[in-house]
């Protein structure tokens, strides 16, 4: 089997997995389901991906690649714009990504959620061994910061061009905003439910969220002077 044919087989399996993970979820999807969807044998799926967990990590890696491409496009195609304008475009693109590429986004969050126990040796031993053995999990450990590095460049540009507050520290600021965006996605279901005793709706929350998000970067009219946070995150 040639290299091109192998790549096409892998692509076909991955596309089938994305469709099934997106429709049935990781827990209820079986390897034989993926094989049937891809119209290949179960054994051939295992030839390319050692387990269902390995396959899901491959989906997470593909998701990070698409997210990195999204960040790169926002940065490289808009260098004539102010940093704050690039971030505005990026936020809109990211929120669309979480809806249009939901299966990738969920796989990314799954991976990120495993980093805390992985970094603690006492907890790592309790993690799913099939995940730890996945070649894609290992590749993600080395590459998942690539997205952050681009975001930090954009924040740095905004500080330099004056469109963002000069007292910001680029790395800490990016990770703060990144956590806000991830939290926004996690809580969408809660806000859409609209509990009667809390005065909130999806639209009002989105407007309030974006207002606060950009006030962090630009400062409000009654902005308090903050001491810059020092230090590097990597």
Would you state the pLDDT for residue 134? 97
**Cα distance between residue 45 and residue 34, in whole Å:** 8
Reading the block at residue 177, the tokens are 């905003």
**Cα distance between residue 84 and residue 30, in whole Å:** 44
Non-local (6+) Cβ contacts of 34 within 8 A are 13, 16, 17, 20, 45, 52, 55
Closest to 107 measured CA to CA, from 79, 75, 131: 131
Tally helices (H) and strands (E) across the chain. Answer: 13, 0
CATH class entry, domain 1-49 = mainly alpha
Enter the pTM of the model.
Answer: 0.86
Q: Which CATH superfamily, name and number, covers 50-218?
A: Tetracycline Repressor, domain 2 (1.10.357.10)
Would you state the pLDDT for residue 228? 41
Would you state the pLDDT for residue 194? 65
Where in the chain are the domains?
1-49, 50-218
Q: What is the pLDDT along the chain (234 residues), one digit of tens a residue?
A: 678 888 899 999 999 999 999 999 999 999 999 999 999 999 999 999 999 999 999 999 999 999 999 999 999 988 789 999 999 999 999 989 998 999 999 999 999 999 999 999 999 999 999 999 999 999 999 999 999 999 999 999 999 999 999 999 999 999 999 999 988 877 777 766 766 677 777 778 788 888 999 999 998 644 434 344 344 433
Q: Is 82 exposed, middle or buried (CB count within 10 Å of its CB: 0-12, 13-18, 19+)?
A: middle
Can you tell me which residue has the tokens 């009219």?
221
∠ Cα 36 37 42 (to 5°) = 40
């Amino acid at each position: 089997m040639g290299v091109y044919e192998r790549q096409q087989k892998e692509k076909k399996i991955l596309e089938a997995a994305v469709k099934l993970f997106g429709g049935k979820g990781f827990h209820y999807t079986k390897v034989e389901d993926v094989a049937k969807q891809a119209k290949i044998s179960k054994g051939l799926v295992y030839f390319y991906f050692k387990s269902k967990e390995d396959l899901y990590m491959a989906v997470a890696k593909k998701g990070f690649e698409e997210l990195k491409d999204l960040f790169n496009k926002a940065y490289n195609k808009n260098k004539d714009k102010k940093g704050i304008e690039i971030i505005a475009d990026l936020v809109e693109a990211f929120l669309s990504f979480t809806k249009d590429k939901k299966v990738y986004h969920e796989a990314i969050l799954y991976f990120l959620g495993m980093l805390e126990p992985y970094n603690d040796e006492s907890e790592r031993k309790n993690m799913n061994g099939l995940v730890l053995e996945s070649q894609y999990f290992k590749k993600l450990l080395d590459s998942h910061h690539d997205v952050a590095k681009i975001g930090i460049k954009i924040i740095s540009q905004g500080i330099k061009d004056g469109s963002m507050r000069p007292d910001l520290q680029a790395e800490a600021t990016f990770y703060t905003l990144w956590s806000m965006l991830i939290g926004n996605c996690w809580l969408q279901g809660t806000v859409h439910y609209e509990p009667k005793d809390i005065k909130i709706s999806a639209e009002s929350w989105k407007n309030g969220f974006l207002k606060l998000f950009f006030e962090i970067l630009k400062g409000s009219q009654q902005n308090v002077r903050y001491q810059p946070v020092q230090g590097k995150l990597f």
